[in-house]
Amino acid sequence: MAELAFFSGTMDCGKSTLALQMRHNRSARGLIGLIFTRNDRAGAGLLSSRLGLVTDAIEADEFFDFHAHVVKYLTAGGRVDYVIADEAQFLSPGQVDQLARVVDDLGIDVIAFGITTDFRTRLFPGSQRLIELADRVEVLQVEALCWCGAKATHNARTVGGRMVVEGAQVVVGDVGQGSAGGEGAEIGYEVLCRRHHRRRLTAAAAGAGPLSQDVLPTDPVPGR
């Protein structure tokens, strides 16, 4: 039977990488799927991972109807064996209901990937609805790490390297918005352990350097 599965975790735990791997594995077996995303860091209509992998996707804005889109695609003669929805935390509860209808009414597997909680430790509406409806919820086992080396369990928003706990729930990517933290302040995100999230102690505030680069090196090893 088809199922609605939700893979969740913090930032940097490999959600988008797993989504791309699942797409690859299914494509290698001749299965055809529809890939949806929303507010990906790489831009509209793309699904990307921090490892540097990227593929085309359908941008699902706040007015997008998943069930209607899949029905229209099938009616036009298309084939859909599965659906992948990345950045599912940004979906509305109604859109998650539409994904559930794709499973129940059309018999198509839906695999959603998303961050569980926002920078204030509150559930995203889309993630909350997925937890309520999904046949299967899995927390990814690739541990993201806080700057101190402990397991990161919370997402933090930073302005100029300092953690903030107020503002709009969704601000995508590492962008500069002076209105959010002073003229020219850089807005970013960082994963922290609970202790340092409670203390609002980011890597910059602690004077610690990053544990790793955002993208794995792809240059050949010297001498090879």
Q: 3-class DSSP state for residue 172?
A: coil
Give the H/E segment covering residue 82. strand 82-85
Give how far Cα 185 sits from Cα of 108, 162, 174, 175, Å.
45, 10, 11, 9
Q: How far is CA 73 from the centre of its chain?
A: 25
| CA 128 – CA 217 distance, rounded (Å) | 35
Distance CA 194, CA 107 (A): 40
Cα gap 71→80, rounded to integer Å:
10
- Residue 84: CB atoms within 10 Å: 24
Burial (CB < 10 A; 0-12, 13-18, 19+), residue 207, is: exposed
Query: Which residue has 């541990």 as its token pair?
Result: 143
Residue 216 token pair: 């794995």
Which pairing describes strands 33-37 and 82-85: parallel, antiparallel, or unpaired? parallel
The catalytic residue positions are 87
H helices of 29-92, where? 66-75
